[in-house]
Structure 1
Amino acid sequence: MYLYILFSPSTNKYYTGISPNPGVRTTLHNSHHFKGAYTKIAVDWHIVLTKEFPTRRDAQFIESFIKRMKSKTFIQKIIENPVILDDILSKR
């Protein structure tokens, strides 16, 4: 399972999610397939980070952790240094 982080230049916002296929999921976000989803605010989402995890549970844990942080700065640090995610997971 993959954790992915999307970025929209038009809104200057990030979105974090999990999927077995982030490329397909990004296309769905940009086509507004998910009604009422946060990503409906833009159509220019693109992947800035993907990281594979051995289990869905691990990917969900990291996704939840990132969303709880509610920090654009934290997301930017993860993009610059994805090893941070391994450290977070190892301390769980």
Structure 2
Amino acid sequence: MFHVYVLYSNSRNVYYIGYTGDDLSERLRKHNSNHRGFTGKSEDWKIVYTEAYPTKKEASERERKIKSWKSRKKVQVLVNSALTHTDL
């Protein structure tokens, strides 16, 4: 199983979109570790949205689709739609 995920850093007030075939909690731990790269600049990343896909290709395509939006508002709508559904 592969996962597309959206992370949010409260200290930077920014979203990050990625995908992984690994365990999501381990991937989050890596994002929150001190490393080079976009997510290495803060240690307060939280998973705020996920989608599961059976293949790497599908997950990769969905990640690229979300990133192509280049719109914080659209990402927020996506994240908020998940929050609304989990509150039911």
For the aligned pair, the TM-score class normalised by the smaller chain equals 0.7 to 0.9
* Offset at residue 41 of structure 1 (A): 2.2
- Quick one: distance in 2 between partners of 1:68 and 1:23? 25
* Offset at residue 81 of structure 1 (A): 2.3
Tell me which residue corresponds to 2:85.
Answer: none
Q: Residue 79 of structure 1: SS of its match in structure 2?
A: helix
Tell me which residue corresponds to 1:44.
Answer: 44
* Offset at residue 19 of structure 1 (A): 1.0
Number of residue pairs aligned between Structure 1 and Structure 2: 80
Structure 1 stretches of 4+ moved >2 Å: none
**Contact 1:22–1:50 at 8 Å: present in 2 too?**
no
* Offset at residue 26 of structure 1 (A): 0.7
Tell me which residue corresponds to 2:19.
Answer: 18
Aligned-residue sequence identity (percent) comes to 35
Q: Structure 1, unaligned stretches of length 5 or more?
A: 83-92
Amino acid at match of 1:55: T
Equivalent runs, 1:61-76 vs 2, <5 Å = 61-76=61-76
Q: Residue 81 of structure 1: SS of its match in structure 2?
A: helix
TM-score by length of 1: 0.79
TM-score by length of 2: 0.83
RMSD (Å) for aligned C-alpha atoms: 1.3
- Quick one: distance in 1 between partners of 2:66 and 2:6? 10
Q: Structure 2, unaligned stretches of length 5 or more?
A: 83-88
